[in-house]
Copies of this chain bind each other. A is one copy, B any other.
Amino acid sequence: MSNQFFNVAVVGATGAVGQQIVRLLEERDFPVKTLKLLSSARSAGKKVLFKGSEVTVEEATPDSFAGVDIALFSAGGDISKALAPHAVRHGAVCIDNTNAYRMDPDTPLIVPEVNAHRIADHKGIIANPNCSTIQMVAALKPLQDRYGIDRIIASTYQAVSGAGNQAIEELKRQSQAVLAGEDVQPDILPVGALPVKHQIAFNAIPQIDKFQDNGYTLEEMKMVRETKKIMEDDSIKVTTTCVRIPVVYGHSESVYVELKQDADLDEVKQLLQNAPGITLVDDPSNQAYPLATEAAGQNDVFVGRLRRDLDNPRAFNMWIVSDNLLKGAAWNAVQIAEIIAAKTAVNS
């Protein structure tokens, strides 16, 4: 990677996140020399528009990465495990949006607003955190820096797009059926690979990903482990309950945070107002607070409902909303790619 334009590959280019990555590479005018769109054999052959030209999607294989400088993976953990090492072998830097490498000690887990300085530690793979983790740590980082964080208790309200395009279609199909008074036949959510399915339309499902032996789901444990890794503080106590609700785009989170010292509410608001990538929407008198429908399509993390805990002077409650496909996935990945590109450009 010695010039200022890059051979870019997107793995999982036809998925919910991959589509947004391609859109963002164009919208951000990312310095693309060539764009290779990769997918499973099933989606190969599809055509995708990029800057006015049609790009044909190819099946991803170990040899797909010859000459690729930056590979953005978003096709599931198994694909990343199988192919990212080949991409690295071919000299690419991989930005992996799956769970495959996140907790690998050799892989930096990056939210640019929080720990961009760790990007340089990579050994070929940089992991993009889980969607529900990204927006939470982005919002809490200014508080960690200023006061220290002792404990986080989060309950999530997660959009179906986090489970992919099929889940979006399922929510729409089920909603239509319920409104028409017809029976609903769930077949994707809560977890495609598990036998039991539940209705998501007009419901709230307290399961995202598989259950672990400790009674938490993998999604909940991702938030716990990834937060400690990204914040670089294993002493932060994190408790999470992850819930899927009938929203298409935009995860919302109810977050209780205990700081290590007393804090002034106005100062907390000021810190968030000045924080990169954060938009404070917090005006109760005008009923203004973040909403999934308004965060959808936006790159920022939106924070509101900021208020002091009624009993603990060191604790605050807040409502954190972001587009799970953008800051929660595609935009965070493209941000990382932009940092790599800028650094390469300077060094070249």
Contact = CB atoms under 8 A, between A and B. Distances in A.
A204 B224 CA distance: 23
Interface in A212-228: 214-216, 224
Given A155-B155, A176-B179, A204 B245 contact: yes
Contacts of A101: none
A280 interface: no
Contacts of A319: 206, 241
Contacts of A291: 198-199, 203-205
Given A202-B247, A241-B317, A309-B239, A215 B284 contact: yes
B241 A305 contact: yes
Contacts of A286: 196
Contacts of A245: 157, 204, 245-247
A293 B202 contact: yes
A215 B247 contact: no
A307 B204 contact: no
Nearest to A286: B196
Given A191-B287, A198-B287, 11 more contacts: A151-B311, A203-B291, A204-B245, A204-B252, A205-B291, A206-B319, A214-B307, A214-B310, A216-B307, A237-B312, A241-B317
A211 interface: yes
Interface of A: 151, 153, 155, 157, 171-172, 175-176, 179, 190-191, 194-196, 198-199, 202-207, 211, 214-216, 224, 237-239, 241, 243, 245-248, 252, 254, 256, 284-293, 304-312, 315, 317, 319
A315 B202 CA distance: 30
B206 A305 contact: yes
B215 A308 contact: yes
Interface centre among A191, A254, A288, A290 (most CB of B within 10 A): A254
A88 B254 CA distance: 42
Contacts of A288: 196
18 contacts: A153-B256, A157-B245, A195-B287, A202-B247, A202-B293, A203-B292, A204-B291, A205-B291, A206-B305, A206-B319, A211-B285, A214-B310, A215-B307, A215-B308, A238-B310, A238-B311, A243-B252, A245-B246
A307 B211 CA distance: 12
A155 B242 CA distance: 11
Contacts of A289: 206-207
A247 B204 contact: yes
Contacts of A243: 157, 252, 254
A289 to B, nearest CB: 5
Given A190-B287, A207-B287, A248 B215 contact: no
Nearest to A306: B215
Contacts of A284: 211, 215
Nearest to A251: B204
Contacts of A153: 153, 256
A203 B287 contact: no
Contacts of A292: 202-204
Given A241-B305, A287-B198, A247 B203 contact: yes
A304 B207 CA distance: 11
Given A199-B293, A239-B317, A155 B308 contact: no
